[in-house]
Amino acid sequence: MLTTEQESLIQGIESLDVQGVQSLLKDGLDPNFIDPEKGPPISIACDGIFQWWESVCEAYESDKPLSDEEKNKKLAPHIELLDALIIAKANVHLWDADEFYGPLWDAASAACVPAVERLLKEKVDPNTKDDEDLTILSSISQLFFECDYDEIDWSQALPEEQKTLEILREYGAKMSKEVNL
């Protein structure tokens, strides 16, 4: 059973209420708890970045790509929430309630380079495996391109997808077949 403050934190994250989340955390709320249905707050925040990614993809699909300024403006509250949770010492290594995905996978699946880079700087292991025994690099490559990283046709990649996978690789992410050697 979650406390009222914990429920408020989750609601604040989901509604992108940066000030409300910052206030709760500043008042000492520990962000290291797990909602039985949604997972830890850090995962809820990273999973929420997908809203941003959907708007970016819709703009590409309508041949009206967002400018970098528009992308950054839409992304800002998500990054502010992630930063607030990290500053409050949220465990960035926690995975969701089913232990299928963690914050890094969630941020990478949304092709969110700033969030991926922020989590990698916090030393999140880029070679954690999901429930299908895939590393994050292989899993995200499969998600975006239905093939492994070394088989990607980069001419088919959106800039955010390519940069996300390149950042993972720069921080030591391996394909599943490289880890299983």
> What's the confidence (pLDDT) of residue 93?
85
pTM (2 decimals)?
0.92
CB 74 within 8 A of CB 126: no
Of residues 131 and 110, more confidence is placed in 110
> What's the confidence (pLDDT) of residue 131?
78
> What's the confidence (pLDDT) of residue 118?
96
Query: For position 138, which CATH number holds?
Result: 1.25.40.20
DSSP H/E element including 75: helix 68-87
Phi-psi region of 15 (alpha: psi -120 to 50; beta: other; left: phi over 0): alpha
95 pLDDT exceeds 80? no
Q: How far is CA 104 from CA 22, 66, 113, in A?
A: 21, 24, 11
The domain total for the chain is 1
Which of 137, 161, 160 has its CA nearest to residue 149? 137
> What's the confidence (pLDDT) of residue 96?
53
| Structural domain containing residue 23 | 4-179
Of 17-31, 92-106, 154-168, the poorest mean pLDDT is in 92-106
Question: 28-40: per-residue pLDDT in tens?
Answer: 999 999 888 888 9
Distance between CA atoms of residues 98 and 21, nearest Å: 25
Of residues 6 and 95, more confidence is placed in 6
Share of the chain above pLDDT 70, in %: 95
